[in-house]
Chains A and B, each alone.
Chain A
Amino acid sequence: MSAGEGPARRRDSEISFATRRRLFLVSGAVLAALMTWALAGMPAFGDYHGIYGLLLNRVAVPQEHATNVITAVNFDYRGFDTLGEEFILFAAVLGLALILRERRDEEEGPPDDDAVGRQVSGASVAVRLITVTLVGPTVLLAGYIIAHGAITPGGGFQGGVIAATALLFVYLGGEYLALRRIRPLPLVEITKATGAAGFVLIGIAGLIWGVAFLDNWLPKGTPGDVFSAGTMQLLSVAVGFEITGGFVLILSEFLDQTIVLRRRRGARSG
């Protein structure tokens, strides 16, 4: 419990602490009773009856040559759903960029990290060493996770976020200016757009090959090979691009807000 916040707020609120506690105890007891009732009626642990899941577990490897059934579901059997999910993130990042734009009463100041007389000391040598050492392996791991989406756990989404964390390491270990140098925003935006468009284009390419949208039209290879599972690997790479670009943009927007954007002097607030 934080001090200072409680008493002041309690005086303002209409409901007293005792009433609130009583309300919590009653509703908590009701919730506990309902939960107990619901849990008592649940099937035993591990008693799985999902016909769809059992079926996919059996057919995914022979049919689609993907040893990671999750990816087979995401990028093949339910590829169309993933397309929708991808555009949810696309729209979210667009909205974020719009809300966190440079407003009329704001201007870019020199980055806080480089301000004259800055009190906070920079990253220590140990932090610098660790982060700089980790940047390479992080990018490599991200590439591995994206490239092996159809074979081992992971895929474009997880790999994409891992790739974006490499950017965080650069910020933590280096300086904001170094960060700006390694993330040319137009390139990041192109990466993101390429990923989003790539997903759709791979789907449309299937139509040219005479199969359904997002159907697996590439040769499927040997299960377990990097170049297997047909379009799944390509889709994984497309999603990887989009997610990397998306998260780098999100982090950049937030960092810019925090570090360089200043309210213009004399501007009215609100």
Chain B
Amino acid sequence: MTVLQIVALALVAVGAPAVVAARDPLRQAFVASFYGLLLGVLFFAFAAPDVALSSIVIGSVALPTIILLALAKIGDKDS
């Protein structure tokens, strides 16, 4: 295992609980976005650049965006 792989694994191990620990959905969307990026680094370090690209575009862009828009809609109804 290379140093990069160990660092990537450690970051993902820290990042996943961080997503759960962020209880506010708005903050959680941002932490999850960052976590998607970490997963991308992990897949890249393990020689899977195709999956890394997918993880970055879905995990750190598409999913948080949809969560944010859904949150905006819910907040809209409350007011």
Q: Which residues of A approach B to under 8 Å, CB–CB?
A: 1-2, 5, 45-46, 68, 70-71, 145, 153-155, 157-158, 161-162, 164-165, 168, 247, 250-251, 254-255, 257-258
**Contact yes or no, A68 B50, CB < 8 A:** yes
Which chain B residues lie closer than 8 Å to A154 at the CB level? 49-50, 53
Residue-wise, chain B 20-47 has the 8 Å CB interface mask toward A (1 for contact) of 0001100000000000000000000000
CB-based nearest B residue for A250: B66
**Contact yes or no, B57 A165, CB < 8 A:** yes
Known: A1-B23, A45-B1. A158 touches B72 (CB 8 A): no
**Contact yes or no, B53 A258, CB < 8 A:** no
Give complex CA distance A2, B26 in Å.
12
CB-based nearest B residue for A153: B49
**Contact yes or no, B73 A153, CB < 8 A:** no
Which chain B residues lie closer than 8 Å to A145 at the CB level? 53
Known: A1-B23, A45-B1, A250-B66. A258 touches B50 (CB 8 A): no
Which chain B residues lie closer than 8 Å to A247 at the CB level? 62
Q: A161-B57, A257-B73 are in contact. List 17 more A-B contacts (CB 8 A).
A: A1-B23, A2-B23, A5-B23, A45-B1, A71-B50, A153-B53, A154-B49, A154-B50, A158-B50, A158-B53, A158-B54, A158-B57, A247-B62, A251-B65, A251-B66, A257-B69, A258-B73
**Overall SS of chain A's interface:** helix
**Contact yes or no, B50 A155, CB < 8 A:** yes
Q: Select one of A5, A45, A70, A258 contacting B72, CB under 8 A.
A: A258
Which chain A residues lie closer than 8 Å to B61 at the CB level? 161, 165, 168
Which chain B residues lie closer than 8 Å to A46 at the CB level? 1
**Contact yes or no, A254 B1, CB < 8 A:** no
CB-based nearest A residue for B77: A263
CB-based nearest A residue for B5: A45
Which chain A residues lie closer than 8 Å to B49 at the CB level? 153-154
Which chain A residues lie closer than 8 Å to B1 at the CB level? 45-46
Give complex CA distance A45, B45 in Å.
14
B78 within 8 Å of A by Cβ?
Answer: no
Which chain B residues lie closer than 8 Å to A168 at the CB level? 61, 65
Give complex CA distance A153, B65 in Å.
24
Can you list 22 A-B pairs with a CB-CB distance of less than 8 A?
A2-B24, A5-B23, A70-B50, A153-B49, A153-B53, A154-B49, A158-B54, A161-B57, A161-B58, A164-B62, A165-B62, A247-B62, A250-B62, A250-B66, A251-B65, A251-B69, A254-B69, A254-B70, A254-B73, A257-B69, A257-B73, A258-B72
Give complex CA distance A153, B24 in Å.
36
Give complex CA distance A154, B53 in Å.
7
